[in-house]
Every structure is written in C-alpha cells, then in structure tokens.
Amino acid sequence: MTTQEQARRMHAPRAIALCQCFNGALEFQAGRWAEAEAALRDSIQVHREIAAASGEALACQRLGVLLTARGQLDEGLAILEEGVVAAERALLRAHCLARLYGSMTRNRLKAGELDVADQYLALGLALGERHGHCATCDSLLFPAAVSVRVAQRDFAAAESFCQRMDAAAEEYSSRIWIAMARQARGELVAARGDLDDALAFYTEARVAYSAAGNKYEAARCLEAMAAVRQTRRAEGDLEMAQAAQAEARQIYERLGAT
C-alpha cells in the first residue's frame, strides 16, 4: 500500500495533500503533465480545506510552473498570485514567496514582459537577502536572474549569478544544479557571442537533464543549441539545428508544452 493510499484509508487530509503535491512534482518532471495537474489541483483543494497555507502556496507554485511550461501564461500567473495570497499567511512565508516570485519571473519572461519579470525577481532576491538563502528557492531564482540580466544586456550581473550557481552546483553535488548552472552559463556566453562555448555548456546541461529524467528542460537546451547553430553557421550547423529543433518539438508535443 502506498503512503497516499494509507493516508486516504486513515482519512488524513494533511498527508493526502502533501502526497498529492509531491506526486504532482514527480509527474511533472517525468513528463506526465495531465496527471501532474490533477494531483496539484487536488493538493491545492485539500490544503485549502484544512487551512494549510504553506502547502497550498507550494502546490500553487508547482501548478503555476506547469501551466507556464504549457504556454498558459495568464492562467499560470493567476495560480501563482493565488499562491502569494496563501504564502502571506503561511508559517514558511519567506520560502513560499521566494519560490513563487522566481516562478512568476519566469512566467513574465516567457510573456515578454521584462520589466514586470524584473520586479518579481527583485522581490524574490530581497527575501533571500533578508531571510537567508535556501537551495530550493535559489534554484528557482538564480536561473531566472541570469535570464533577466541577459535580456537587459547586464552581463556583469548575469555573470555574478552564474558564479553563484556554479558554487552551489559544486557544494550540493546535484545533477540538477549542475544542469541548471551549465544551462545558465550557456545562455550568458551565447548572448556574449561565444558560440562554441555556448554549445558545450548547453550540451552538458542537456545530458544532465536527460539523466535526471527532466525532459522539458532537456528540450529547452536542444532548442537553445539549435538557435546557437543557426547563428554560428559552421559546416553542418544548419542540418544539426534542424534535427535539434525537430527533437525538441517532438518532446514538447508529447508533453503538451509550448
């Protein structure tokens, strides 16, 4: 019997809500997004019924990330805003808000609203400075910070965040942190015009994401690699770019992502 089945049998709503939130995160990473959405919506509902604000906020954050990946940007932002309301009364207020602001930054970046994304990023970073850094919170904030600063052409600030990610990857010895650090570094060096290095970093990130079972981020790396090759145009680059785009598109279609 699974933990969730035991929780339902014992009529333990808090345990059910936690299991559903965890299941949603796992299903999202594994690429089973319909199951992930159902689990996260269930988690949000049960957390609300028992007035567990921290759990509600975190489930909203994870659902917002999923909807953002699907391209449902306004709905994703609305869910994240609901999470902020819950986080304001949560015991883990600072952690919940930092994660939500990181996800809201990514959502508005994808919507093309750089100024709004920068505002959410500032809110998230300020929480870290006031309350101390958390590996999970930073894993959402730092990659978004690199993307915002690159979009602003503030490469010195982007470099600072890349260095912090490199340090965290070394400290935690985590495959996901390594993947995120290489992906962020690839984004920065590509913007600087160091295309050979960008391909190397994106390739390393893609391998790490694939090994961790994170198909969505692996596809994002493929898409970035295709863009770099289209810019570089060395021998064979255009053909390899087309192949990478086709592979990324197939992954997106299977996931329901945009």
Check if 10-132 and 153-258 are the same fold.
Answer: yes
Local structure of 87: helix, strand or coil: helix
CATH superfamily to which 10-132 belongs:
Tetratricopeptide repeat domain (1.25.40.10)
What pTM value is reported for the model?
0.91
Q: Give the Å distances, CA to CA, from 68 to 24, 57, 77, 103, 169.
A: 15, 16, 8, 9, 25
Percent of the chain with pLDDT over 70: 95
Look up the CATH architecture of domain 153-258: Alpha Horseshoe (1.25)
How far CA 181 is from CA of 12, 40, 52, in Å, comes to 39, 27, 33
The domain limits of the chain are 10-132, 153-258
Could you list the pLDDT tens digit for every one of the 258 residues in the chain?
454 455 454 557 889 999 999 999 999 988 899 999 999 999 999 999 999 999 999 999 999 999 999 999 999 999 999 999 999 999 889 999 999 999 999 999 999 999 999 999 999 999 978 866 788 888 889 999 999 999 999 999 999 999 999 999 999 888 999 999 999 999 999 999 999 999 999 999 999 999 998 999 999 999 999 999 999 999 999 999 999 999 999 999 999 887
